A and B are shown apart, each in its own frame.
Chain A
Amino acid sequence: MYEIVAFYLFSALTIGLFLVTVMSKNILYAMTSLAAAMVLISGFFFMLGADFLGVVQLIVYVGAIMALYSFAMMFFDATRDIKEKNTSNALVFLLGGLSALVLVLMFAAPIMSDNLNTANMLINGMSYSEFIDGNISKYAQYALDNGIQASVEGIGNAQSVGVILFTKYLVPFEVAAVMLLVAMIAGIILAGKKMDNSLTKDASIDDEILVVKDEK
């Protein structure tokens, strides 16, 4: 019961806040609603039993990425409304229709292949629910064989995530660490150019001193 209420509440709020993000003309409104929607998405993760992922979502997305955006706001004119002139409606409709078609095909293709498999199973004398149960338990058996179950009795989510992250996914983890280092250096170099001459301190004073020194 609580799960149903929480699911519909979270999904309605998330979709509404993301719509504000996409449709709003004010950068500050868009950023604030994006941050709020990310907090609610971490609620989805907690509901799904992915505790560690929810905490990471809160710390990295809401804490780090949104803080980075709000620091970047210092460089942009955030209070002014954005004027966007949209191109011809025909092009927008064409692009929208095409991407909707691609999306439907992407989502429908696995369902279609599943239906074909199910038809084969039904021909071989197996009921639909048996097929679905067998399918899910097949994957669960695969997870059990490889030691990657999501929930085990007596072991918390964070613990099993840690064990798998540092055994099966050790190399991708290290590569991600190197990638974050590269991104950090790139961000510092790109944004930090000419950071040494301050924006608040009057630069002309220094120039005058230099000029006086030169004259001497």
Chain B
Amino acid sequence: MIGLSHYLIVSAIIFSIGLVGVLRRRNLLMLFFATEVMLNAVNIAFAAISHYYNDLTGQMFAFFIIAIAASEVAVGLGILIVLFKKHGSLDLDDLASMRG
């Protein structure tokens, strides 16, 4: 039988994958993908806890997380497009201009 801990372990694995992506990626668009991975991992954990404790609050949190992710993507992609028009690349090393 699948219990709560199964879902939490899967969620932790997916969150770690997203964390690895955030740490090792140097391209801004790929960093966005990695944050989406992490948000989805948290959503799985919320839905699982909501199901096993028979409490809808977790699902509500997941809804608001999805709304926040949508607005984050809208604003973030706008900024990325402006950056790409200005610098011609999305690499973090090219964008770093405040080197001491």
Contacts and interface: CB of A to CB of B under 8 A. Distances in A.
A92 B25 CA distance: 11
Interface in B42-88: 43-44, 47-48, 50-57, 59-60, 62-64, 66-75, 77-82, 84-85
A185 to B, nearest CB: 9
A50 B93 CA distance: 42
Contacts, number: 202
Contact of A69 (B14, B71, B77): B77
A41 B59 contact: no
Given A140-B54, A190-B82, A183 B71 contact: yes
Contact of B50 (A48, A69, A142, A182): A48
Residue from the set A7, A37, A150 with the largest chain B CB neighbour count within 10 Å: A150
B14 A86 contact: no
A52 B51 CA distance: 13
Q: Closest 3 A-B residue pairs measured CB to CB?
A: A190-B78, A183-B71, A22-B21
Given A148-B55, A149-B56, A60 B70 contact: yes
Interface size class of B (residues with CB under 8 A): 35 or more
Contacts of A164: 56, 60
Interface in A168-198: 169, 172, 176, 179-180, 182-184, 186-191, 193
A186 B78 contact: yes
A145 B67 CA distance: 28
A157 B68 CA distance: 22
A38 B40 contact: yes
Interface in B16-60: 16-21, 23-27, 29-30, 32-34, 36-37, 40, 43-44, 47-48, 50-57, 59-60
A18 B74 contact: no
A16 to B, nearest CB: 10
Contact of A161 (B34, B56, B90): B56
B55 A18 contact: no
Contacts of A61: 40, 66, 69
A64 interface: yes
Contacts of A160: 56
A139 interface: yes
B68 A18 contact: no
18 contacts: A7-B2, A21-B33, A30-B33, A37-B40, A48-B7, A60-B67, A69-B73, A82-B27, A95-B23, A99-B23, A143-B53, A143-B56, A148-B55, A165-B63, A180-B70, A183-B75, A187-B78, A190-B82
A123 interface: no
Given A172-B64, A183-B70, A48 B51 contact: yes
A149 B51 CA distance: 9
Given A27-B30, A142-B55, A15 B14 contact: yes
Contacts of A38: 36, 40
